[in-house]
Structure 1
Amino acid sequence: MPGSRLSEQDRIEIAAGLRAGIGYAAIARQLDRPTSTISREVNRNGGPGRYRPEQAHRASRQRSRRQANPDRTQLPGDNRDDCPALPAIGRLTSLFVDTGMPHTASGVLAFLMTAEDGSSVAAELATTLRVSPAAISAAVGYLQAQELISKKRDEPRRRDRYIIDETAWVRATIAGARQNAAIARAARTGAAEVGATTAAGERLAGMADFLDHVARDITASAQRWATLLR
């Protein structure tokens, strides 16, 4: 039932669907759930190739017990050992940094990826990552520009909530492809300006051809993946 927690039987059916090669959207329709619920459930518990329904259900029950006793649970920033996602956050942060992403933005992205509902507010991010609110502001601005996260205003509490959903990587990948295409256009213009038959012109033209080809392939692949989420 939409809005209720996944049952162990739901998780068994998710595993069966994954083994059969069914997409997240189709599994979600079978269970009458949002596609985002299925994608988060699978990605939170090892991904399509390593999803185990019994382990996933056990982990969910443990999270429920912690949420049912909030007086005994500290914020991750107060006692980082109480946050089971911290090892994953650390690994993902390091890998994102290796790609050239700023460190705090990497931490924010890793935190949102491992958050139960894929969202958080600036105060929680600053506490967990142990950085200043200004650093969080810069980080979320960077991630929004990359189309990796979105922002929703929580009017009653007068604060912004930052969200990552199952289409984030599709949007970010297509945005990256657009950037490659823009570089290709600039390179092609540069080749004409320096002379197409010069060594520099040939180098620029070759770069333009490659980036155009990659941008088209990446965009097509991302769009095919997006159809699995519908």
Structure 2
Amino acid sequence: MRQADRILVIDDELQIRRFLRISLKSQGYEVFEAENATVGLELAATSSPDIIVLDLGLPDADGNTVLKELRTWSTVPVIILSVRASESEKVQLLDDGANDYVTKPFGIQEFLARVRNLLRQSTKAEDETGSIYDDGYLHVDLLKRKITISDAEVHLTRKEFSILRTLIMHPGQVITQTQLLKNIWGPSHTHDTQYLRNFIKNIRQKLHDNSDEPRYVQTESGVGYRFIDNRQTKP
């Protein structure tokens, strides 16, 4: 079975979080909660959410600031949840990268329908960019999070898979260490380059890759990493 879609709720109102948690879990979603912007950004980076529900009136930062920060390193769909209902503000938030806007108070059935719609759009977009990498030796299903080498299953941790997924989604492009650290661990970990190198080493070992003569993960010294798409070199 496919892993349950993950929803991150960033809202300082405990009652709203509880209401959404119960409603979303009843539909089979995995729910993460944050009561402020700081925790929300950390969870956005570490929990790999499929959708983020973001309140604007957070105690430590305005939700629009959080949205702009998210959009510097993540394309995860965001639903804004707020009592603010002016048309100009809605337009500005959508222009800044929000995918949908729900005004409090709201009906839960409509909210769940919006969640389903965004998940469908996200899955379709991922399918169109290529959810499966297969060069005849390495097979990676990005949707099912399944990896095999010569039909033997390979087990990566969640963070190892997130790194590999990011690289595969940008074949041939250099992904900087800062981008990877921001994307996987959050904006407060951009200097943890040795930590990242250890994860890259583990990924290479599991893929039977060689850093000296890389087949998949190539190091760009002092900059980052590049995924080698071997499908392009096949006759």
**Counting strand residues as a fraction of each chain, which structure ranks higher?**
2
**Counting helix residues as a fraction of each chain, which structure ranks higher?**
1
TM-score for the superposition, normalised by structure 1 = 0.31
TM-score for the superposition, normalised by structure 2 = 0.30
